[in-house]
Structure 1
Amino acid sequence: MANATVAATDRATAGQLSRPASLTLALPLILLLGLAFLLPVAKLLWGSVFTPSPTAENYLRIVQEPIFLKILLRTVQTAAVVTCLAFVLGYPVALVMSKLGGRAAMLVAACVLIPLWTSVLVRSYAWIVLLQRTGVVNSTLMSWGVINEPLKLIYTEGAVIVAMTHVLMPYMILPIFSSLRSIPPELDRAARNLGAGPWTSFIAVTLPLSLPGIYAGSIMVFILALGFYVTPALVGGPQNLTIATLIGQQTTELLNWPFAGALAGVLLVVTLGLVGLFRRFLRFGKGA
């Protein structure tokens, strides 16, 4: 009895809980995920195969009709471009945030967090105001004499990429900032003392140590971009359908729930496969 008491005390002192206690604390979250996510997804996937008898017709339709594969490919391509742009634009911001202190750091953090707290719908409509034919961009260019007639900026693939990058960039900046913040500054100073320049020190020390943040941010941005609905639907229009807007169209307009479930199943498999490849690539990069 005394040994068990000592062991429990040691676990409590070390901040560890027993497995039953951990499961008890996690049970509400597990129930919430099961009822709000796993059960609806499982029901949707079940309906794509059993309608009511087992059939692969919905999945064969995706392969047989090229338009659906084209939309899926466009969605993956758009998500990849958005992820790359978010990394290129967000990494310098995260690096500056990690170097600053005091009011300057609070100001930069506010510039990152305030858009994150703003509704996605509001930010998407803001891009419509900016990019429409009589919007701010076209009006400014015409008043400066750069163009003679409005450019088609809205309802294009470029508009979707720009708007999605703006909406999802905080999800890239914050994990990278957290990773950069955890790097001891002594490592950079040691590299500089050994003769490395600023750029060499960044490539050899800072960038490799920030890979976990890059991985976390890239995964979040990529997965969110694959399933993004509001911004592509508003900014891209019907000419630039993504897989999420196609699923929404099948459920709300055509009421074809089995085919929507098949599309969701394919998207789920593609997402898990690409995440697995990216994770293996990151491990290879760490080894290199």
Structure 2
Amino acid sequence: MTTTAVLDVGRAAPVRAAGRTTGSRTATALLLAPAVIASLALFVYPLARIVVVSVTEPTIGLHNYAELFTDGYTLRVLTRTLLVALGVAVLDLLMAFPYAYAMTVCSPRVRAVLFTIVLIPFWTSALAKNFAWMILFQRGGLVDEFLKATLGIDYPLLGTTPAVLIAMSQVLLPFAVLPLYASLEQIDRRLVDAAQGLGATRGRAFRQVYLPLAAPGLVAAGALAFILSLGFYITPALLGSPQQTLIAQLIMARVEQVLDFAGADAIGIFLLIVTVAMALLSRWVSRRATARKEAAR
């Protein structure tokens, strides 16, 4: 091959490489275009519209957001919703942690059974589960009769905040178990054995070694349960009462009864801000816990 031919081949190679790169970028853009268009049309535009309405109606300003913290009724509903969501997160963590821990130490056959039990709620209609709770909590229901027979308590739960709290915790329990199990499964149990070999008791090794390693999973599971419980509507509507309204019911009332779309939009944006803040906080705590774990190694 002559020197001229070699130089020609050398010049052609970058041209072909550049052509392939341009074609690859074009193909990638074409593949992403439907998803981008759908996101803009179904998420970005509606969200932007909600923000615009919340700050322009009936007049331009932030009065709709100020009302969230100045109107006594709205403030009580917001506080009640946050407390219920926090209660759901705590209850789910208390139930999910031992269950997920058991899934990491049991045999594969038992683990498959436990997985199936966790997945069963996903196969059941939300309305069916709430109607079942209504039957259990109503006057003369199984729970009511049990409380009266065993504890002597005559307190029908239907129409109360505890009923809503219990039902929401049951619905969201799988969302706490699954991420928690995924986190606990990655913990090296030999670290706990090593701590016991160095003289720590089983309880001390669990508290000082296992729990810090499980912290990212606990935070993620709790944050997920908290975020999902903020927007519940069916469960509070069926099992709660008008005197114990939560935020989703307030939004519905403002839209259907008062026609206060701007106020409802402001509440929705506030919930979105709380959700994003909780997600960022969860991520920050998880990163801190992971960094401490890596430093300990």
2:185 match: 181
2:240 match: 236
Compared CA separation, residues 228 and 20, structure 1 to 2 (3 A): farther
Give, in angstroms, the shift of residue 215 of structure 1: 2.1
Mapped to 2, the partners of 1:114 and 1:203 lie a distance apart of: 32
Identity of aligned residues (%): 35
Q: Which letter maps to 1:151?
A: Y
Mapped to 2, the partners of 1:168 and 1:103 lie a distance apart of: 25
Unaligned 5+ segments in structure 1 are: 9-17
Mapped to 2, the partners of 1:184 and 1:270 lie a distance apart of: 34
Normalising to structure 1: TM-score of the pair?
A: 0.82
Q: Which letter maps to 1:251?
A: V
Three-state SS of the structure 2 residue aligned to 1:210 is helix
Q: How does 1:88-237 map to 2 (within 5 A)?
A: 88-141=94-147, 144=149, 147=152, 150-237=154-241
Give, in angstroms, the shift of residue 24 of structure 1: 6.5
Count of paired positions: 274
Mapped to 2, the partners of 1:25 and 1:220 lie a distance apart of: 31
Compared CA separation, residues 141 and 223, structure 1 to 2 (3 A): closer
Give, in angstroms, the shift of residue 159 of structure 1: 1.0
Given that 2:220 and 2:282 are in contact with CA atoms closer than 8 Å, whether structure 1 keeps it comes out as no
1:186-233 deviation per Cα after TM superposition (whole angstroms, max 9, x unaligned): 333333332333222222332222222222211211111111111111
Three-state SS of the structure 2 residue aligned to 1:153 is coil
2:56 match: 50
Three-state SS of the structure 1 residue aligned to 2:237 is helix
Larger Rg computed on CA atoms: 2
Given that 1:156 and 1:240 are in contact with CA atoms closer than 8 Å, whether structure 2 keeps it comes out as yes
1:79-118 deviation per Cα after TM superposition (whole angstroms, max 9, x unaligned): 1111111111110000001111232111111111101332
Pairwise CA RMSD: 2.8
Compared CA separation, residues 25 and 130, structure 1 to 2 (3 A): farther
Mapped to 1, the partners of 2:198 and 2:237 lie a distance apart of: 53
Mapped to 1, the partners of 2:107 and 2:288 lie a distance apart of: 34
Normalising to structure 2: TM-score of the pair?
A: 0.80
1:15 match: none
1:81 match: 87
1:263 match: 267
